[in-house]
Structure 1
Amino acid sequence: MHQKTICDLYLRLSLDRDGKTAIERQEADCRAWAERNGLTVRKVHMDRGRSGYKTVERKGFDAALAAVAAGVVGTLIVWKLDRLSRKGIGQVGKVLDDIEKAGGRLVSVLDRLDTSNDSTRVAVAMLAELARSESKNLGARVGHAKRYLRSKGQWIGGQPPYGLLVDTKTKKLTHDPECAVYARLIADEALAGTSLVKIARLLNEHDIPSPRGGQWNAASIMQLLRSPAFAGLMPETETVETDDGERKYTGRVFPYRDPETLEMVGIGEGIITVGERERIIRTLESRTFVHAGKRRPKPAGTALLTGLVYCAVPGCGRRMHCVGGSYQCMARRAGNQCVGASALAGTVDRYVTEQFLTKLPSLEPDDPLLAAIADRWVRRADPETFAKRDALTGEIQDQEARLADLEDARYVRGEFSGTSAVERYARLSERLKGRIEGLRTELRKLPVPSVDVSPMLDGVTLREAWTDTTDEARRERLSLAMDRVEVSKGARGQRIVPEQRIRIHWAGDAVQA
C-alpha cells in the first residue's frame, strides 16, 4: 500500500516555556523509532502549550488524526500515549476506532505499544485511564502547592501585573524599575476619574507599549486595575465545577483570604494601596449598569452582522460591534489609535440584506459564488469527512508538485544523466506516481456530501425564508455567502451612502460589491 511506509508524528507539550527542549526530545525519539522501523516521516504535527486533559482546541491533534484516518499515512507515532490524550479511553478509544477503520496503526514509542498487534488495545485502554488519573492527581498536588505558597505570602507563578516583578529570592512582588512609573500613571489617572478608553489612548499616543508589546485598550487597563496583586495582595482565580467533574477557571480574580483568619494576604509591594484599589473599583462599578444588585443582562438578540462587519480604516481592520444603534469600530472604543468607522446599524443591515436577497437569485448554476456557498454548507454539515478530504487533497497536491519538480530535473535541468541516474529517476517517478494514485483511490472512497441550493436561487422562496426566521439563522446564511462586510469612515454630519461606504467580500472573493 502507498502509505504503509509513511508516518506522521504528533508532539504535545502542556507548558511551552522559553529554553525548554522537551518537545524537541520527543521529536528526536520518534524520528529514531521511525528510522529503525523503515518508516519515512512525512509531517510533524505539534501542539505547544496545550493541555491533553482539559477541553481545549488542539489543531495539531486534529490534523494528525485526520491524516491517518483518511489514509494519507499508515502510522501515527507519539512519544508517549499521554502526549496524545489525557482524557481517558473515551477519547483514545475513538481515536483507535478511526485509525483502525482506515487500516492504520498508532505507535507509542516510550510505552512500546503498536496497535497493529491485536492485544495492544487492552494495554492502551489501561494506560489511557492511568494518564487521566495522573492528571487529576497532578491537579490536586498543584492545588496543594499553591495553598502552601499562598500561606507563606509567596508568588505562585505566572506573569505579575504591569509595573511589578517577582523577587527571585523572596518570591514576593517588587517594583519594576522600567515601567513602574507608567503603572502609577495609570493608577493616578483612574483615581482622578479618567475613563479607561482615555487612559489607553494616552498611553498609546506616547508610544508606551502594553505588557505584550502591542497597544493598550480599555479591557487591559480594566484587568490591571482590578488585579489584587496590583495592590500588593495575593490573587486567587475563581473556579467552578463543570458537568463532567472538571474544575474550570471563570476568569474572575479576587484577593485570596487566609482560610483561618479570613484576612487578605499580602504578596509584596503594590503599585497602589488597598484603599486606592477599593476607590478605583467603586468608580469602575459606578459606571456599570446595575439592576437589582446585578449587572444588566445582555439583550436577548444581537445585531444582524455580528462577527461579519469590520472597520475599513487603513491599518485597522478590527471588528465592529453594534453600540447604541450604530456599528462602531471596537479598536477606537477600546482606546487604540484608529479614527474609527461608524455607521447606523439599520442602514448597513438593510443594504447588506438587500444585496444578499438580490444577488443569489441572479446567479447562474455554475457561478463560483454558488459553488463556494454549497461547499461551506456541506462542510458545516459533515466536518469530519471534509477534514479527511482536505488532508488527502493537500497531500495529493504536494506529491504532484514533487513529481513535476522531478520531471523538470530530468528533462529541463538535465540533472539525471547516465544509465544509473536515469534508472534512479524511473524508480523515483514510479514511486511518486504510485503514491499519488493510492491517495486518489482513498479520496474516491470517501463520500461526497451534497446539498440542494436551489431554494436559494428562487427569489420569492428566499425572501419568504428570510422573513420567517431569526437573526441568528439569517446571520448563518449570510456567512455562507460572505467573508466579511467592510464599512469605511464617513464625513461627520453627512448621510451614509451605502454604495460608497459599504463593501461586501463575497465567499472566496469570487465577486465583490
Structure 2
Amino acid sequence: MEERKDRATLLGLGFEEAELRLLGLWEPAVGPAHTLAEAYIRRSNKRDDVTTLREHVRDVVRQAMRDGKSIRHVWFEQRSASKAYVKREEFDGAVTAVLEGLSKTLYVWKTDRLSRRGMGQVGLLLDEFEKRGAWIFSVIEGLDSRTGRIMFAWLSERAREEAKDISIRTKIGIDAHKAEGIWPGGVTPYGLICVDGKLAHGITEYGFARPIAEALLERTVPAEIAADYNGRKIRTRKGKLWSAQGIINMAHSVSWAGLVPNRERILDEFGNPTDKYHRSSTPLMDADGHPVECGEGVVDYEEFLTIDGIFKSRSRPGTTIGNRARGQRERVAIIAGFFNCPYCGGPMGNGGTNYRCNNRINKGETACKGISVARPQAEAAMGELWLNHILNLPPESPTIQNIARRWLSYQDPAKEKRKKTVSAALDNAVSRQMKLNKEYFLGASKMDEREYENLRDQVAAQIEGMKKELEELSAETDLTPLMDPQALLRLWENGGVDGRRKLLDATLTKVVLQPLPGDLPEGEKAPSITDRMLVHWRDTAGRSDAAEAMTAVMKHRERQIASVA
C-alpha cells in the first residue's frame, strides 16, 4: 500500500508511528467522499510550538472519529490568515480537495485558523461548499457550517477585527523600539550580530565584511570583490558564492552602518499594506535631524555616504546602471528567465547581443566556466521549436488550453483588476452588514426597526449584486477560438516580446543550452543552436529534431502564402 502524502509532515510535527496508527493517520484513508475529511492546521504565532500543534491535530481527529469520518490529509502551514497578499498553498490545497470531490468535510481547529479576512472570504467559500454538499466544522467552537452559518459570519468578522488590533499593536511597538535605537528585528547585515537589541561586530564575519567596505572605498568594483572572495573560497553567511549585486545591496543598507533603517511599506491598489517595502538607503532621523544609531556598524555614516556617492558616480541617466529609482525597463529578450546554463544550472541573462551565464558574469570563474550564445539566433531557434511543438499537439491538449487561458488573461488585464476590486468591495459590504446588525441588536443605537430594515435591505442588495458580478467574472471564458494550433501560431507571429514570453511560460518550464562538443571528426559540422536547445515542455512531450521543426514551420508559411494568393 502506498504511503500517505502527509506522513512526512506528521512525523515532522513529532508524532510517533504508534500514535499515528491509533489516530488512523498512518495508512492512506480510503472510502467514499462523504466518509473522508480534510484537516487544516495553521500555526499563527511562535507560542504555538509543536506540542500545541500536535494537540490541535488530536482534537481534530477525535472530532472526525465522533462524526464517523477518516482524515484523508492533514494540511499544515505557518502562514498569516489575515494578509490578502500571502498565498496559503496548504489552505488552497485543502479547499481544492473538497471542491474536487475527494472529501466532503473540512475540519479546522478554530475559526480564526481558517481565515482572518472576514465573512467576505468565508461566505464565498461556504457558498461553494454548499453547492457540492460539503461543509466546514470548527472543532473548538463546535460549529457546523450547515447549521451555524450566522455564527461563522460573526466569528469570522471578530477574527478580522482581532487581526487589525494585532497589526496596530505590532506597528506601535516596532516604531517605539526604532525611535529608541533598538534593532527592529530580522536578519542582521553581514558582519554584524544583535546583542541585547543592539548591533555589534560579529566575531567571524566582521573580519571579512570590513575588507569589503575598504575595497569599495578604494573604488574597487563589486564584481571584482565578489570574484576575489569566491576565488579564495570565502562564502556568504548562507554558504553561497558572492555576487556583485549582493555586495551592492549590502552596501546600500543603512543597517550596515549601524543605523536604524527608515522603511515604508508598499501598499496595494486598495491602500492595504503588502509584505514588500520601498527600497530606501536613508536612515531614520531623530527630532534634531541626526540619524538614529542602533549599535556598531561595519562602516560609519560618513563612509556609508562616500560609498553611496561612488555608486551614484557610476550611474547612467536613463539606464538601469546604478539607478535604483528608474524601475523595471521594458523587456527585449524573449527567452530571459527560461534559459539555463548547462554547467551551473543557473539563469542565462540578456547581455545585449547575446545570452550569457549570470553566475559567470556576477560571481566569476569560480562559480561557473560560463557559456554564451547569440541572442537573435537563439530566439529564432526557440521560435522554430515552439511552433513545431504546438503543431504536433491536439486541440484538446491541456497545454493548448493553458495557453488560451493565459493569453486571455494577458489580453484582458482589466477583467483581473475588476475581480480584485469587486472582491475587496464585497469584503467591505459584508463587514458593514455585520456592524449594522451588531449596532441594532447589541448597541445603544436609537435606530428604529424601519430604518434598520431599509439599511439592511440596501446592504443585502449590494452584497447580492457583488456576488453575482464576481461569479460572472470568475466564470470560464469560451476558449474554443484559441484552441486551434493554427490560431496560436498567429498569436506567436503577432505577439511581440511580451506576448511571446506569455506563450512560452504557458508551454515550457525551462530551456537548457547544451555545450558544443569538444572534438568533432573532420568534415562533420557542429550541431546547430536548435539541436543544442533542450526544452522542458510542460506536457512532458519530447521535442522533435530541427528538420521536423523547419518542415512544420515551412508548411505553415506555405499555407499563409496560399491563403493570401
Q: TM-score, normalised by structure 2?
A: 0.69
Give the aligned partner of residue 387 of structure 2. Answer: 357
Give the aligned partner of residue 269 of structure 1. Answer: 296
1:40 to 41, 59, 70: 70
1:210 to 226, 236, 247: 236
SS in 2 for 1:160: coil
Matches within 5 A, 1:329-368: 329-335=357-363, 337-361=367-391, 363=392, 365=394
Give the aligned partner of residue 96 of structure 1. Answer: 126
Tell whether the 8 Å contact from 2:79 to 2:86 is kept in structure 1 after alignment. no
For structure 2, list consecutive stretches of 5 or more residues without a partner in the other structure: 1-30, 410-475, 519-524, 546-565
Of all paired residues, the percent bearing the same amino acid is 28
1:246 is displaced (CA, Å) by 1.5
Tell whether the 8 Å contact from 1:113 to 1:124 is kept in structure 2 after alignment. yes
1:469 is displaced (CA, Å) by 2.7
Give the whole-Å Cα distance in 2 for the aligned partners of 1:322 and 1:269. Answer: 40
Q: Structure 1 residues 150 and 161 mapped into 2: Cα distance closer, same or farther (>3 Å)?
A: same
1:8 aligns with 2:34: no
SS in 2 for 1:236: coil
1:201 to 216, 222, 227: 227
1:304 aligns with 2:304: no
| Count of matched residue positions in the alignment of Structure 1 and Structure 2 | 436
Amino acid at match of 2:186: G
Q: Structure 1 residues 19 and 283 mapped into 2: Cα distance closer, same or farther (>3 Å)?
A: farther
Tell whether the 8 Å contact from 1:52 to 1:82 is kept in structure 2 after alignment. no
Matches within 5 A, 1:424-439: none
1:30 aligns with 2:57: no
Q: Structure 1 residues 365 and 89 mapped into 2: Cα distance closer, same or farther (>3 Å)?
A: closer
Greater alpha carbon shift after TM alignment, 58-67 vs 278-287: 278-287
1:477 aligns with 2:503: yes
Give the aligned partner of residue 103 of structure 2. Answer: 73
1:141 is displaced (CA, Å) by 0.8
1:63 is displaced (CA, Å) by 0.5
Matches within 5 A, 1:74-223: 74-117=104-147, 120-168=148-196, 171-223=197-249
Tell whether the 8 Å contact from 1:238 to 1:254 is kept in structure 2 after alignment. no
Tell whether the 8 Å contact from 2:407 to 2:502 is kept in structure 1 after alignment. no
Give the aligned partner of residue 503 of structure 1. Answer: 534
Amino acid at match of 1:166: C
1:295 is displaced (CA, Å) by 4.7
Tell whether the 8 Å contact from 2:43 to 2:79 is kept in structure 1 after alignment. yes
Give the aligned partner of residue 434 of structure 1. Answer: none
Q: CA RMSD in A?
A: 3.3
1:463 is displaced (CA, Å) by 5.2
Give the whole-Å Cα distance in 2 for the aligned partners of 1:491 and 1:72. Answer: 51
Q: Structure 1 residues 450 and 33 mapped into 2: Cα distance closer, same or farther (>3 Å)?
A: same
Give the whole-Å Cα distance in 2 for the aligned partners of 1:496 and 1:18. Answer: 58
SS in 2 for 1:4: helix
Q: Structure 1 residues 317 and 449 mapped into 2: Cα distance closer, same or farther (>3 Å)?
A: farther
Structure with more relative contact order (C-alpha pairs < 8 Å, separation 6 or more): 1
2:306 to 279, 298, 303: 279
Give the whole-Å Cα distance in 2 for the aligned partners of 1:129 and 1:477. Answer: 41
Amino acid at match of 2:536: H
1:220 is displaced (CA, Å) by 2.5
Tell whether the 8 Å contact from 1:312 to 1:487 is kept in structure 2 after alignment. yes
Q: Which deviations, in whole Å up to 9, do the C-alpha atoms of 1:333-366 show, x marking residues without a partner? A: 33160122211111101111123334544x3759
Amino acid at match of 2:102: V
Give the whole-Å Cα distance in 2 for the aligned partners of 1:20 and 1:262. Answer: 46
Amino acid at match of 1:140: I
Greater alpha carbon shift after TM alignment, 470-479 vs 482-491: 482-491
Tell whether the 8 Å contact from 1:309 to 1:484 is kept in structure 2 after alignment. yes
SS in 1 for 2:264: strand
Give the whole-Å Cα distance in 2 for the aligned partners of 1:247 and 1:480. Answer: 30
Q: Structure 1 residues 35 and 259 mapped into 2: Cα distance closer, same or farther (>3 Å)?
A: farther
SS in 2 for 1:110: coil
Q: Structure 1 residues 199 and 112 mapped into 2: Cα distance closer, same or farther (>3 Å)?
A: farther
SS in 2 for 1:200: helix
Tell whether the 8 Å contact from 2:191 to 2:205 is kept in structure 1 after alignment. yes
Tell whether the 8 Å contact from 1:13 to 1:22 is kept in structure 2 after alignment. no
Give the whole-Å Cα distance in 2 for the aligned partners of 1:137 and 1:325. Answer: 54
